[in-house]
């Protein structure tokens, strides 16, 4: 039996009469980030890998495996119609709650650096917050479609999503994972605004969110310490400000053109988490300001392209798909801004990965799945296929319209 027969009645952008029919600019941008990430992980992790495992390529090999898994997740999501995600929104929301509850249960969740953020398996760890953020976006997209008029015209329609979002934020804070909470709530707020929430209600939500962040910072001494230390890391550069000080030294050493790939000094046990949260600092040291700005430009391109995919879906009146594209783009934007802001000293130190670039299996696999969703949304909006109301025929697999974007 051919693959084409297996996937009927749902055509796919990788099985068409024209061959592979994808948004190649988006795909190329993400693959470029993945390739750059592999190079930087190979460079930034050599010293710590050699010390911990005896092999300088240990983390690079694991990262390569994660890339393969992420690309596999991308292909799988490409094969699934967006209407299927819409039908499964509630189940995914329940699954997200289940995973977040499991991770804080002793004996199931794994503690690393004082935080219970992972569910450990024999060879790898799963970070439920990465999955939960995407599932929340899918659920909220469905809610905005079902309750569009209510969201735009009534306070109840505006507050209902928070009945779900606030308990989930509470579970994230129990890990604790303050960064993931901020990113998830920020993406949800942006989706509500694009869904038509009035400016007054949106402004009130922003004020309440800022007040909540201030309160959360004050009730936990370590968060207040991070806030005060990042403002002047040199005041305690060998204590609380050590990590940020070393990151800034990496930027300073890189100057305009960098010290050369593989020649970083900061990765040699000076900069903690050099291949995970602070891989951008090593990139800046080795590739310089020019390489850093090119990387930022690549991230900006990918995020803007994701927003455009949402805009094209909205023009095609595929509103559920449009909200998903907006939400996923805002998740990437939030993580990108926080990670870069932490690396350059504009934000307090916070453990949050850089999409596609940082080492981490859960993050990379979820990024791959998100890329597949965005590529599927772009294809469905361009071909007007994939909705629940569409009955597919053999001709749907034949020649399709020329890619015009």
Residue-level pLDDT at 291: 94
Closest by CA to 352, choosing from 372, 333, 371, 369, is 333
pLDDT in tens, the chain (405 residues): 444 444 445 677 877 666 778 899 999 999 999 999 999 999 988 888 888 888 888 999 999 999 999 999 999 999 899 999 999 888 999 999 998 998 888 778 777 766 778 887 766 778 888 999 999 999 999 999 988 888 887 888 788 888 889 999 889 988 888 888 989 999 998 999 888 887 778 788 788 888 887 777 776 666 666 666 667 777 677 777 788 888 899 999 999 999 999 889 998 888 887 888 899 999 999 999 999 999 999 999 999 999 999 999 999 999 999 999 999 999 999 999 999 998 988 888 777 889 999 888 889 999 999 999 999 999 999 887 644 444 444 444 444 444 446
Contacts of 296 (CB under 8 A, 6+ apart): 340
pLDDT reported for residue 213? 73
Q: What pLDDT was estimated at residue 405?
A: 62
Per the structure block, which two tokens stand in for 51?
Answer: 């010390």
Longest dimension (CA), the chain: 69
- Separation between Cα atoms, residue 192 and residue 187, nearest integer Å: 9
> CB 203: neighbour CB atoms within 10 A?
11
The CA radius of gyration of the chain, in Å to the nearest whole number, is 22
Environment class of 213 (CB within 10 Å of its CB; exposed 0-12, middle 13-18, buried 19+): middle
Strand partners, 15: 12
Residues 6+ apart with CB under 8 A from 43: 261, 262, 264, 267, 282, 286
254 in Cβ contact with 267 (< 8 Å): no
Q: What is the pTM of this model?
A: 0.88
Q: How many CB atoms lie under 10 A from the CB of residue 171?
A: 20
Residue with tokens 């993931």: 180
Alpha-carbon distance of 68 to 66, in angstroms, equals 5
């Amino acid at each position: 039996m051919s693959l084409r027969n297996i996937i009927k009645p749902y055509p796919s952008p990788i099985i068409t009469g024209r061959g592979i029919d994808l948004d190649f600019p988006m795909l190329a941008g993400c693959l470029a980030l993945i390739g750059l990430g592999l190079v930087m992980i190979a460079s930034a992790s050599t010293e710590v890998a050699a010390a911990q495992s005896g092999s300088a390529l240990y983390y690079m090999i694991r990262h390569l495996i994660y890339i393969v898994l992420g690309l596999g997740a991308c292909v799988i999501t490409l094969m699934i119609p967006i209407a299927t995600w819409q039908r499964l929104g509630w189940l995914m929301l329940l699954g997200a709650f289940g995973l977040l509850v499991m991770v804080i249960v002793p004996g199931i969740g794994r503690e690393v650096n004082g935080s219970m953020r992972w569910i450990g398996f024999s060879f790898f760890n799963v970070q439920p917050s990465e999955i939960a953020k995407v599932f929340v976006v899918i659920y909220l997209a469905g809610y905005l479609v079902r309750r569009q008029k209510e969201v735009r015209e009534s306070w109840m329609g505006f507050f209902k999503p928070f009945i779900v979002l606030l308990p989930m934020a509470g579970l994230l804070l129990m890990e604790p994972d303050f960064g993931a909470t901020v990113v998830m709530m920020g993406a949800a707020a942006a989706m509500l605004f694009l869904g038509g929430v009035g400016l007054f209600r949106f402004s009130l939500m922003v004020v309440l969110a800022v007040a909540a962040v201030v309160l959360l910072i004050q009730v936990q001494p370590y968060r207040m310490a991070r806030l005060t230390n990042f403002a002047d890391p040199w005041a305690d550069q060998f204590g609380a400000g050590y990590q940020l000080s070393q990151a800034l030294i990496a930027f300073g050493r890189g100057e305009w053109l960098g010290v050369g790939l593989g020649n970083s000094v900061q990765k040699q046990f000076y900069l903690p988490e050099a291949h995970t949260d602070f891989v951008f600092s090593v990139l800046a040291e080795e590739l310089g300001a020019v390489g850093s700005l090119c990387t930022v430009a690549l991230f900006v391109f990918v995020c803007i392209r994701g927003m455009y995919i949402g805009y094209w879906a909205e023009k095609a009146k595929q509103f559920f798909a449009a909200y998903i594209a907006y939400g996923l783009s805002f998740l990437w934007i939030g993580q990108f801004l926080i990670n870069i802001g932490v690396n350059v000293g504009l934000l307090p130190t916070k453990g949050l990965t850089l999409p596609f670039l940082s080492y981490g299996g859960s993050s990379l696999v979820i990024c791959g799945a998100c890329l597949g969703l965005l590529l599927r949304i772009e294809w469905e909006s361009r071909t007007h296929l994939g909705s629940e109301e569409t009955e597919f025929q053999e001709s749907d697999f034949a020649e399709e319209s020329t890619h015009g974007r």
